[in-house]
Structure 1
């Protein structure tokens, strides 16, 4: 069923995706449920905290508003008390739910909730008691204060006997205490009561029945004032003491406990979520590792034959396509077997073609060798005979013909000599040695001192390199010799001066960048793409064989370098050369990779 690699890999991939999706969904569902449960605990703690703050606000509103509201003291009922009771029930429910939730998720809040419940019961008891005490204390016409006011009004009926000033002073001390909650007003009040009693006892103008009635009212008034004082101090609504302080303290304690619980719950939630994420991550990593090892095992099994084929291909490439790996040929429908068979056939074809190409190159090199070594002596001999005949003859026409023949022999000998150089470049085994590039260039330049136009050229050499240069002296000399010769031959006499500038710098740690620039006749744009071809000449301004730049490029390529050219007609030419600072022999694969890299580098340099 799964014959092709694609079908096998597709089946494995689909299985892996299905297992991954299923596992991810299960783990994600587990994570979300636990996340919601953990968040719910923190949310319940926050809700309880909010409810408590709301009840504290309601209680304070009661103390500020209902304690001076006659309707409350008349009916004994208050919406704020009802609201307080409703909130307290909600807090109780919330605490119970919070306790159940934290136990389920092991939040370790049981002791805190137990203490919180205990404090909240005390809080409810205190508030309930205060509400009752406030009703007893009363306000204006109600409760203790109401009774006290009634007795005060009765005393006003005896203002003649007691004295209106004394009655007003009693009320003044009463109000000062209620407002300021300070004991000196109580002392003043009691002292004034005793003074009034003493004055009554010695006043003979008042009959005994009236005295008795006044003293009775005065005692009742003083008693209720004393009761009022007791309740004022017990409640502490204005002084911030008594029950009011206890309520404030317990509510502050509960609020702090709830705030701490909320913070603790949030921390526990974060810790639990981190732990869940770690578990999720560990499961995911375990699954990934299982998947990776499974994929490696399966891929190794599937790719075993491909790996074997790859190794054989590598061996074939490293042999420079000359040694066969002898892979089997069969008629299997398996993709890898088909690929192996086709490669084996292609391999045989490549070996045959490489053998044929090497033989052709060898034959061509032999032809060049024969031309440069075996043909040169006879040509030189014929040139000598022609030259001797030219010297001996006196006939002008004959002399002219012999001169032209002699020139043709000279050109042919030059061509044969340069073919010999081409042969040497192509066949010579590269022997590297350390080269002093400055000395080499100056030495070669001096070789052309006898050339016409040499003295008219301004020569400059700039060396800015810190790298040592290891290469083939013969090939490097061939490069500079041909480029310098071209500069001298194609310099223009129309300009006031001609120059040749050579610069050598470090392109990078592994490459030298050499620029050879002149202001000669230049090269037409249409010739630039062909100037490195064998026997190609772009101009007839000076004599030549068309092999010079071919030798330059061949030498550079053999040294694993590259060359580029920029030129404008009548403006000059600049050759840019990249050469390795340390030549190393490469096989075909390495040369192809290196040529791609150096081609990109050359393009970036020229552009």
Structure 2
């Protein structure tokens, strides 16, 4: 009797979960215990990716960090895997991952022998394991987000350079109009990638605190915004009432203020008798910093206000905006353990309040 048939007899009758996975994460075999614990039938899971268990990232992390190092001398790796059943509930497998090299082809396969420890773990231990896996997933997502936004900007920058050269040489008005449309589209894409990098940086980094000069910070933001928004035509009122020294991440604070001030300046409501006004108040209240940014601009419709901080949500179909600005603001505020409140009336204006401990 072949070794595989002997092993399969053991696999079919053991109370341990058994799964065989190839080097690409494809599930080749699961035993009855695996079906019972996971809730999946063999037909539903064999031949599928390990992602079927919604733990593919865990497997890949384990592979690159540990499993890839397995060889004939060191062919065992052990880990507690946090997976999801077909029902959506979590289950926890204390798993031995054993390297199995095919003698005929040399392919690397892995035998995952798991003991269901779900009932053994108390609630605290389960939460700790979930937090570890969530942190790994967040780190991976942050890396993917950063690398994709970084690597995509290089060819876009090249395209923009070529477009500028072409626009200088082309004389045909129709062709120039086409080139202008391409320039606008690439600029929007470049802006999106820049904002994705900012979001990735906020999620994945810890930022050192430093003493903040609020007057200088706001002045620098307004000077920078003046390159994109006609601030000279806006009545900007700045009132800083901070007597104590406060330490925050300058990067995060700049992201918050810049995006909020940008919105307040940009979304004006044209009136014949009233100038567009943006009021920026920063004050020290009981040891906390409160930021107020108020404008008499277009305001926000009631139906849009609940979704303002969602990624890619745009309250208005403005072509040159990507819907990430307020999401970045909210993420940066949460990083500083702060809170944001806003009130807005359509065609009358918006007031935003940010409180930072």
Q: Give TM-score scaled by structure 1 length.
A: 0.38
- Which residue, 275, 287, 291 being the options, matches 1:497? 275
Cα gap change, 1:579/1:391 in structure 2, threshold over 3 Å: closer, same or farther?
same
Aligned residue for 1:450, secondary structure, equals coil
The correspondence of residues 527-606 of structure 1 with structure 2, limited to 5 A, is 527-541=304-318, 543-580=320-357
CA distance in 1, matches of 2:319, 2:247: 34
CA distance in 2, matches of 1:426, 1:526: 29
CA distance in 2, matches of 1:505, 1:489: 24
Matched, 1:381 2:158: yes
Offset, 1:430: 1.7
Cα gap change, 1:366/1:342 in structure 2, threshold over 3 Å: closer, same or farther?
same
The correspondence of residues 12-27 of structure 1 with structure 2, limited to 5 A, is none
> What CA deviation, in whole Å up to 9, does each residue of 1:340-361 have, x standing for no partner?
x968243454344323322221
Contact map agreement 2:264 2:293 (CA 8 A) in 1: no
CA distance in 1, matches of 2:211, 2:120: 44
- Which residue, 296, 303, 307 being the options, matches 1:526? 303
> What CA deviation, in whole Å up to 9, does each residue of 1:105-147 have, x standing for no partner?
xxxxxxxxxxxxxxxxxxxxxxxxxxxxxxxxxxxxxxxxxxx
2:218 equivalent in structure 1: 441
Cα gap change, 1:343/1:537 in structure 2, threshold over 3 Å: closer, same or farther?
farther
How many residue pairs get matched? 240
2:238 equivalent in structure 1: 461
CA distance in 1, matches of 2:319, 2:181: 17
CA distance in 1, matches of 2:285, 2:120: 41
CA distance in 2, matches of 1:410, 1:371: 17
Offset, 1:412: 0.5
Name the structure where strand makes up a greater proportion of residues: 2
Unaligned runs of 5+ in 2: 1-79, 81-117
Unaligned runs of 5+ in 1: 1-321, 323-340, 581-607
Contact map agreement 1:371 1:419 (CA 8 A) in 2: no
CA distance in 2, matches of 1:397, 1:447: 34
Aligned residue for 1:560, secondary structure, equals coil
Contact map agreement 1:489 1:542 (CA 8 A) in 2: no
Aligned residue for 1:575, secondary structure, equals strand
Contact map agreement 2:139 2:204 (CA 8 A) in 1: no
CA distance in 1, matches of 2:153, 2:318: 27
- Structure number with bigger Rg: 1
Offset, 1:391: 3.0
> What CA deviation, in whole Å up to 9, does each residue of 1:183-234 have, x standing for no partner?
xxxxxxxxxxxxxxxxxxxxxxxxxxxxxxxxxxxxxxxxxxxxxxxxxxxx
The correspondence of residues 266-415 of structure 1 with structure 2, limited to 5 A, is 344-415=121-192
Aligned Cα root-mean-square deviation (Å): 2.1
Contact map agreement 1:437 1:469 (CA 8 A) in 2: no
CA distance in 2, matches of 1:382, 1:520: 36
1:11 equivalent in structure 2: none
Offset, 1:383: 1.9
Aligned residue for 1:545, secondary structure, equals coil
CA distance in 1, matches of 2:312, 2:217: 27
Offset, 1:521: 0.5
